[in-house]
Amino acid sequence: GAVVSQHPSWVICKSGTSVKIECRSLDFQATTMFWYRQFPKQSLMLMATSNEGSKATYEQGVEKDKFLINHASLTLSTLTVTSAHPEDSSFYICSARRRGGLAGEWDNEQFFGPGTRLTVL
């Protein structure tokens, strides 16, 4: 199956600092990756769709200047939480879709990274 990694798996930082989270597809090329956030006892909420070589598409209510997304290669997307505050503490998860099959069609499944737990003090 397809493997997606995230780094770091957890991070603790002071308020006001910036934190970068990496999402990598290890054995396939991912032209599209997704960034989710999950608060305790809540479901995953899509933050943005990251497209290789172009600007990310942000969901309503997500500040693009605060959550910077860069998808510079077919296997790497990064999410930078700028000037993090305690309310940004959450579980951030990325996922990727893969093209496969004879016709290069999209897999119907999303492959998730293991998540990054961010705690802002």
Partner 1 sequence: RKEVEQDPGPFNVPEGATVAFNCTYSNSASQSFFWYRQDCRKEPKLLMSVYSSGNEDGRFTAQLNRASQYISLLIRDSKLSDSATYLCVVKGVGNYGQNFVFGPGTRLSVLP
From CA 21, how far away is CA 6, in angstroms rounded? Answer: 7
Query: Measured from the CB of residue 25, what is the shortest distance to partner 1 in angstroms?
Result: 14
Single residue of 15, 17, 18, 42 touching partner 1 by CB under 8 A: 42
| Residue 58 found at the interface with partner 1 (CB under 8 A) | no
Q: Using CA atoms, how far apart are residues 88 and 108, in angstroms rounded to an integer?
A: 30
115 interacts with partner 1 by CB under 8 A = yes
Q: Which of 14, 43, 101, 105 binds partner 1 (CB under 8 A)?
A: 43
Would you say 16 or 114 has its CB closer to partner 1? 114
Judged by CB under 8 A, the stretch of 11-19, 21-29, 43-51, 67-75 that binds partner 1 is 43-51
Instruction: Give the CA count within 13 Å in the CB-facing half-sphere of 22.
Output: 11
Q: How many residues does the structure list for the chain?
A: 121
By CB under 8 A, name the binding residues for partner 1. Answer: 32, 34, 36, 42-46, 49, 57, 91, 93, 95, 97, 108-110, 112-115, 117
